[in-house]
Structures are given as C-alpha cells and as structure tokens.
C-alpha cells in the first residue's frame, strides 16, 4: 500500500504549487494510495508499504521524523521541488529558509526521490555532494501534469481572446514571481498608447508582497486595465486564462513552473522567464522565453504578442497541438515504481 503524506495539504486553503501537486496526485492515485497525516502515518506500517511525501518537512514540525527514517518500518519516497530558500533567502518565507537545509539533508535517507525537473534533480545531487553524502538514493525526474484545473484539453483551432487584449499572470504576489517587471512593461506600453489588460492572479505574500500589491493598486488608479485578483477559484482562473491573449510567467526561481504547463493545456501561449526549470517545459513550443528576463525584453515580447496576430496565432496553434503531460501520467509512474 502507498500512504500519501497529506499532513500540510489537508489544511491548506490556497492553490499553491505544492498544494496542486498533493491534491492532483491524490486524485489520480485514487484507491492505490491512502491519505495519511503525521504522526498517524507512522502507525501500523508493514515492510512492503510505501510512505510517499510530496511535502516539505523538518524534525521540529514533525517530532519523531528523524527516528522514523532511521528505523524504517517501511519504504519511504519523496517528491523534491527546489532549493529556492537556500538560493534566495532574502525573499523567501523565514520558516522555509530555516527548514530547508535539514529538509534536503533528510531526503538522503529516503529510498526513492523524484525531482520535479532535471534542474531540481541536479541541484539536489549537488547539495548532497557538498554535504558529503556518500550513498544517496536514486533521484529521477517526475514530470508534473499540465491538467491542473481539471479543464478539458484545448484542441483544434486556437480560441478567440478577449478584447482588449488580456495578459494573465498566475502566482503569489512576491519578488520571486517578479510581477514588478510586468508592471514596468504595462506602464511603458500603456503610455505608448497600447491598450490591453494585465491580470495578476494570486494571494499576497505576507512577508514581501505588500509593496507589490500597493504598486498594482496605484498603477490601476492611473492606468485602468491592471487588475489584481487575490482569491479566485481554479475554475475562475481557468476561465480568465481561456480568454487571454497570452499568459506571462516572469519568475526568477522555480522548481518546475506549473502555470506554464497549465496555460499550454488551454491552448494559450505563455511568455516566460528563461531560467532552466521553466525552459524544460517551454522548449516544446507555444512559449516565448524572454531573453534575460529583463524589462526591455518583456516590453518587446508583450508588444509583439499583443499587436502581431500571426505571431500569436502560431504560438497558440503550437500550444494546442503539442504533447503535454497529465497528472494521470505522473500517478502512473509512481504506482508502477512503488508497486
């Protein structure tokens, strides 16, 4: 039996990437896995069982976890996301920064680990080498699903976007997601006379997001057309994306970048940063990797996708036609490996 660790996800109300991974895997694993929370997950386990965790954890948060891993009453597997708290501690939640080194070191005690991208896989292996881990577990890449919102795959002719042109950016409002560069570009292009909407979708990071939210409100008052949606349902987000000229994902650090895949699933082109994890999904087509993730590059990329109909149509057609992974695919990989 597979016991899926949902200790944190069971209480989350926000649609973060971590929450999406937990919920979609739980749905697609179905009866092949039982949801479990710490410390109950450690009770009654047999040697042939697996505990699979897609969550972040530490000994202070889960007392007894270190001892549990040392005695190993069953087999244990994990899904690893990224090392962002180590690489960007100045703009990451303090709790995450405090937890992350011990979390990454504990992962070396697991039997199997899946990383959400090849870039994440390499950074975890490099961390273990730096820590002197001599016998690390196997680390493979688990390709995450594009069908995050449960909407049907877009197919056939590209949809007709809203008028005026609508750019949608999904992600918590914080420096890492880099919505500031979109607001810069919005101001420049609107003052040039280009009429379009910019929709920022995501809650506000309580540690770092308030200045960005305040700036969005100021711009919206001066140049109507910028909208910040703090709490939309999955269905509402999918509906907004379906009417978009393109989505925008300028993040400076990711493990995977699910909003890119979810945009492509709906046949909507995505303008994205050119960081390694995002490029793994962008290179298949339907995307524009914005060179250097700089202000001037974003201004050019947005201007073109808004004004050049043929360019936008070609991107949308590729997005609708390219093969994309599903959460059922991911769950099938895990079921077979943990049989």
Report, as an integer, the average pLDDT of 47-70: 93
What pLDDT, on the 0 to 100 scale, is given for residue 156? Answer: 61
55 pLDDT above the threshold of 90: yes
What pLDDT, on the 0 to 100 scale, is given for residue 158? Answer: 60
Instruction: Give whole-number Cα distances, 2 to 51, 111, 115, 212, 326, in Å.
Output: 6, 14, 19, 42, 20
What pLDDT, on the 0 to 100 scale, is given for residue 157? Answer: 58
Instruction: Give whole-number Cα distances, 137 to 86, 106, 124, 316, in Å.
Output: 21, 11, 11, 40
What pLDDT, on the 0 to 100 scale, is given for residue 19? Answer: 85
Report, as an integer, the average pLDDT of 274-291: 96
Q: What is the mean pLDDT of the chain?
A: 93
150 pLDDT above the threshold of 80: no
What pLDDT, on the 0 to 100 scale, is given for residue 10? Answer: 72
CB contact at 8 A, 32 and 338: no
Q: Walk me through the domains of the chain, giving residue ranges and CATH numbers.
A: 2-145+326-337 (3.40.50.2000), 165-321 (3.40.50.2000)
Higher pLDDT, 225 or 37: 225
As a whole-number percent, the residues of the chain with pLDDT over 70 amount to 98
What pLDDT, on the 0 to 100 scale, is given for residue 53? Answer: 96
Give the separation between CA 327 and CA 285, rounded to whole angstroms: 20
Give the separation between CA 72 and CA 53, rounded to whole angstroms: 15
Q: Where are the beta strands (DSSP E) in 74-164?
A: 75-80, 112-115, 138-141
Q: Residue 97 CB: number of other CB atoms within 10 A?
A: 16
pTM to 2 decimals?
A: 0.94
What pLDDT, on the 0 to 100 scale, is given for residue 44? Answer: 84
Residue 192 contacts by C-beta under 8 Å, 6 or more apart in sequence? none
Sign of CA dihedral 138, 96, 270, 275: negative
Instruction: Give whole-number Cα distances, 20 to 13, 26, 144, 187, 317, in Å.
Output: 11, 10, 10, 32, 27
Q: What is the DSSP string of 36-88?
A: E-TTGGGSS--TT-EEEE-S---TTTSTTHHHHHHH-SSEEEEEE---HHHH-
What pLDDT, on the 0 to 100 scale, is given for residue 212? Answer: 98
> Each residue of 90-122: pLDDT tens digit?
999 898 999 999 999 999 999 999 999 999 999
Report, as an integer, the average pLDDT of 287-314: 97
What pLDDT, on the 0 to 100 scale, is given for residue 159? Answer: 66
148 — pLDDT class (breaks 50, 70, 90): confident
> Each residue of 168-216: pLDDT tens digit?
999 999 999 999 999 999 999 999 999 999 999 999 999 999 999 999 9
Give the separation between CA 96 and CA 103, rounded to whole angstroms: 10
Coil vs helix vs strand at 265: helix
> Each residue of 62-81: pLDDT tens digit?
999 999 999 889 999 999 99
Q: How far is CA 181 from the centre of its chain?
A: 19
- List the 246-249 sheet strands across, edge first: 226-229, 196-201, 165-170, 246-249, 270-273, 287-290
Q: What is the DSSP string of 205-220?
A: PTTTTHHHHHHHHHHH
Minimum mean pLDDT range among 9-18, 42-51, 133-142 = 9-18
As a whole-number percent, the residues of the chain with pLDDT over 90 amount to 83
CB contact at 8 A, 237 and 170: yes
First vs last C-alpha separation in the chain: 8
């Amino acid at each position: 039996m597979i016991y899926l660790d949902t200790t944190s996800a069971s209480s989350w109300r926000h649609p973060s990437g971590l929450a999406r991974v937990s919920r979609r895997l739980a749905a697609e694993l179905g009866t092949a896995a039982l949801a479990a929370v710490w410390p109950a997950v450690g009770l009654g386990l047999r040697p042939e069982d697996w505990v699979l965790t897609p969550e972040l954890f530490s000994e202070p948060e889960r007392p007894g976890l270190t001892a549990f891993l040392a005695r190993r009453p069953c087999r244990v597997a994990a899904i690893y996301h990224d090392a962002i708290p180590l690489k960007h501690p100045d703009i990451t939640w303090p709790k995450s920064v405090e937890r992350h080194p011990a979390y990454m070191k504990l992962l070396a005690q697991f039997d199997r680990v899946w990383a959400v991208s090849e870039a994440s896989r390499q950074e975890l292996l490099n961390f273990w080498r730096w820590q002197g881990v001599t016998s690390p577990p196997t680390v493979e890449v688990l390709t995450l699903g594009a069908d995050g919102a449960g909407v049907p795959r877009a197919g056939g002719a590209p949809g007709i976007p809203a008028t005026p042109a609508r750019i949608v950016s999904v992600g918590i409002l914080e420096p890492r997601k880099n919505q500031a560069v979109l607001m810069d570009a919005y101001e420049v292009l609107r003052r040039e006379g280009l009429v379009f909407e910019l929709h920022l979708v995501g809650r506000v990071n309580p540690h770092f997001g308030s200045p960005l939210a305040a700036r969005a409100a100021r711009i919206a008052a001066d140049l109507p057309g910028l909208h910040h949606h703090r709490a939309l349902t999955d269905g509402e987000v999918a509906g907004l994306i379906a009417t978009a000229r393109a989505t925008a994902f300028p993040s400076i650090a990711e493990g995977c970048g699910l909003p890119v895949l979810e945009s492509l699933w709906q046949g909507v082109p995505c303008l994205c940063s050119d960081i390694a994890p995002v490029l793994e999904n962008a290179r298949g087509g339907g995307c524009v990797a914005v060179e250097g993730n700089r202000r001037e590059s974003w201004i050019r990329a947005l201007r073109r996708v808004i004004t050049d109909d043929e360019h936008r149509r070609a991107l949308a057609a590729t997005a609708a036609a390219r093969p994309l992974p599903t959460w059922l695919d991911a769950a099938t990989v895990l079921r077979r490996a943990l049989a």
